[in-house]
Structure 1
């Protein structure tokens, strides 16, 4: 695990580099991983959503204070793909948080290029993304999160329980939920992870 993480961090992209790749793929009608019309379409759509969030996200003073209180270097490693809808809703928030703390470095790697690392962070046996991994200054795993908030997961699970499947309507309803929630569930859960780590460090 330690070696996998070191290799991943060494070759990971910054948020700026990831967005450059994102824009190039969308402009050229391509995507990462196994190409297909649906994934190409979602790559373009996700770029638009990410750009909008980059412009509109605002952290509260309490949230800023929480993340600025991190007093040791951390690497926030995110495993994702440009076609992933949940990632488009969370990555801009991870970036906004990292911008407010000198001790957080955000790094991004692609899932399909790092299957061994992805398999170390499965969600109920699935390679669900994004996977957000908090590493300390020695690249040891502090905590991890993903692929979506508990509230968003409930929306998904409730829909599947009622309709028996994941379909395009579910994606629409999940997007409407994201629009209404405005990232508060994501911010609250990442804040809880940071606070839990601080509290455990002081015990």
Structure 2
């Protein structure tokens, strides 16, 4: 992996607060992040902005997660590729933010997918630019692991539905959001903590 690309991406990366602010500012102009300014993407962004507002207020880090991150020996950075219109990102990025808020050893930088094509193309999921994608980076700015775009249970739901129905329709997307709401970030926490502990 090209280390200078990671360094450049980290320099361009913004904090979670800046990311939320950017989305809200764009929404006041009637547009979403990214290159697609259709009404659909605008509506997804509005919905996701409300989701993230709610998650910021209600999300809790589990005792297990807190205990694990308290025992981390090394420092890490989450370099997150996301967009405001992405439903999975709206559910996952607030969880990452809570994890980073709970540990001085973890930092987070967010870059937008459509503005960082070179980086995104290094971390495709089955050939597609699926987001969010989380790169776990060590002190030497080396990518030691990547995760995403969804927790394994949600990934299985997607694969099973595609196998049965060919594509993901509005019904499925609604059911996936219901699953995320019930899960409350638990699986995302478990999977990321496991990767951090292994690093």
4+ residue runs of structure 1 moved beyond 6 angstroms? none
Q: Is residue 93 from structure 1 mapped to residue 95 from structure 2 by the alignment?
A: yes
Secondary structure of the structure 2 residue equivalent to 1:49? helix
1: CA distance between counterparts of 2:60 and 2:183? Answer: 13
Alignment correspondent of 1:45: 47
Partner residue, 1:159: 161
- What are the within-5 Å matches in structure 2 for residues 73-152 of structure 1? 73-152=75-154
Contact 2:137 2:144 in 1 (8 A): yes
Return the match for 1:58 from 46, 51, 60: 60
- Which whole-Å CA distance do the structure 2 matches of 1:174 and 1:62 have between them? 25
Distance 1:61 1:178 in 2: 19
Contact preservation (8 Å) 2:72, 2:197: no
Partner of 2:30: 29
- 1:184 positional shift: 1.1
RMSD of equivalent CA atoms: 1.0
Q: How many residues align?
A: 197
1:169: how far off?
1.2
Q: Is the 8 A contact 2:89 2:132 kept in 1?
A: yes
Matches within 5 A, 1:186-201: 186-197=188-199
Q: Distance in 1 between matches of 2:184 and 2:62?
A: 13
CA displacement, residues 62-105 of structure 1 (integer Å, 9 cap, x when unaligned): 21111122232211100011000000000001000001111111
Task: Provide the TM-score with structure 1 as the length reference.
Answer: 0.94
CA distance in 2, matches of 1:141, 1:56: 31
Does the Cα contact within 8 Å between 1:26 and 1:47 map onto a contact in 2? no
The secondary structure found in structure 1 opposite 2:110 is strand
Q: Specify the SS of the correspondent of 1:180.
A: helix
Deviation readout 1:11-60 (Å, 9 max, x if unpaired)? 11001100100111223221122211111100000010011111111112
TM-score, normalised with respect to structure 2: 0.96
Gaps of 5+ in 1: 198-203
